[in-house]
Amino acid sequence: MRVTHVITRLIVGGAQENTIATVLGLHQIPDVRVNLLSGPTTGAEGSLVSLFDNYPKLLREVPTLVRPVDAWKDLLACRTLMKEFLRDRPDIVHTHSGKAGILGRLIARRAKVPLVIHSIHGPSFGSFQGGLANYFFKQAESIAARFTHHFISVAQAMTDQYLAAKIGHAHQYTRIFSGFRLEPFLNIGAPQSYRNRWGLKPTDFVIGKVARLSDLKGHNDLLEAAARLLPSIPTLKILLIGDGPLQAQLRNRVEQLRLVNHVIFSGLVRPEEIPECLGAMDAVVHLSRREGLPRALSQALAASRPIVAYDCDGAREVCQQDQTGHLLPPGDINGVVRALCQLHHNPERRREMGDFGRSFVSKEFSESHMVARIHELYRSLLDRYRADNQK
């Protein structure tokens, strides 16, 4: 079985970590020959390219596959993808992200690749966009769907949203949760051993957020909630894990809200450091307005940390109200304040939610389980394709 994955870039992010874990996991399966095509990795979010240092033959860069729309570069990227597909003759092309998802599927079909699969890590259209952009991306996805045999969605919410937009048919969708290596999160020790890195005290009430500092991730809502919480919780600390284009803007907002002594910006951290970061927190907040299934939430639960999240896209599939945390309507900052107050005043409840979350995630989110399900899906689709073409 020959499989080629295509992604726009390998910045630090959940979709990219999912894709890399899939490629490296499939590489360990004897009957699979796999590789990954990626555009150049640029941006303040950091790079995951080094994860291929021990597997240099698995990753190839397509220099003209860039995120912004650029007619000339897009044409060159299409030519390069065609050459790669014709050379490798994959049985399956599996695409990820917006630009790579559109171009990769169109060219795979033109190259007569037997099976074309697309992973939906997050919505490319929705209420978070203006009307014109929403229409454009929905139409682009509808066109690309004509060249797609199957979709893998990381959350049922993604499947429902795409079907509601009349993109594909129900039998073309399979939900596979985004898995990760559970052990580093399950084996987190005492919080203070991690808090020392950030200069945090045992008595501090530490709220954390793990996300790129970018639009729609909800950092401003968290800062607003922190300003309202501070009078009643003077030991409050906000630990923001990640970097991105909004760092300067968010630092200015911290100063305006007089939170300078209560907010810590970590800057870039390596993915393997995330368990340590979560270990320093009492609770994890994720107020994104656009997400497939937030990887930060499932990782927080694996680390036995309760979560507070907006009811956006796939969040409700891990944030179960009053069991693993608090699920709130998007924009409900007062609700965020109330939820965090409850968690602050009831350490035993935090522990119960964390334990329930750990048990749930341990069953559903292992990296090996994800890779096995994807491999099983590949095999099933290929068997069906071959049977249909022998008739």
Buried b or exposed e, range 56-71, using 16+ CB within 10 angstroms: eebbebbebbbbeeee
* pLDDT for 6: 99
224 and 150 within one domain: no
40 and 97 within one domain: yes
| Structural domain for 145, as ranges | 2-179+366-389
User: Under DSSP, is residue 311 helix (H, G, I), strand (E, B) or coil?
Assistant: coil
259 and 123 within one domain: no
175 and 108 within one domain: yes
252 and 108 within one domain: no
* pLDDT for 81: 98
Q: What is the pLDDT of residues 201-235, one digit of tens each?
A: 999 999 999 999 988 899 999 999 999 999 999 99
Q: How many domains does the chain have?
A: 2
Contact 125, 35 (CB under 8 A): no
Q: What is the pLDDT of residues 360-379, one digit of tens each?
A: 999 889 999 999 999 999 99
Q: What is the pLDDT of residues 286-345, one digit of tens each?
A: 999 877 788 899 999 999 999 999 998 889 999 989 999 999 999 999 999 999 999 999
379 and 288 within one domain: no
187 and 108 within one domain: no
259 and 223 within one domain: yes
Contact 182, 361 (CB under 8 A): yes
**Tokens 């796939």 — which residue?**
314
CA-only gyration radius of the chain, Å: 21
What's the whole-number average pLDDT of the chain? Answer: 93
166 and 202 within one domain: no
278 and 337 within one domain: yes
Strand partners, 366: 180
Q: What is the pLDDT of residues 106-141, one digit of tens each?
A: 999 999 999 999 999 987 776 655 667 678 888 889
Task: Tell me how far the alpha carbon of residue 208 is from its chain's centroid.
Answer: 17
Contact 238, 226 (CB under 8 A): yes
List the CATH number of the domain containing 321. 3.40.50.2000
188 and 138 within one domain: no
202 and 287 within one domain: yes
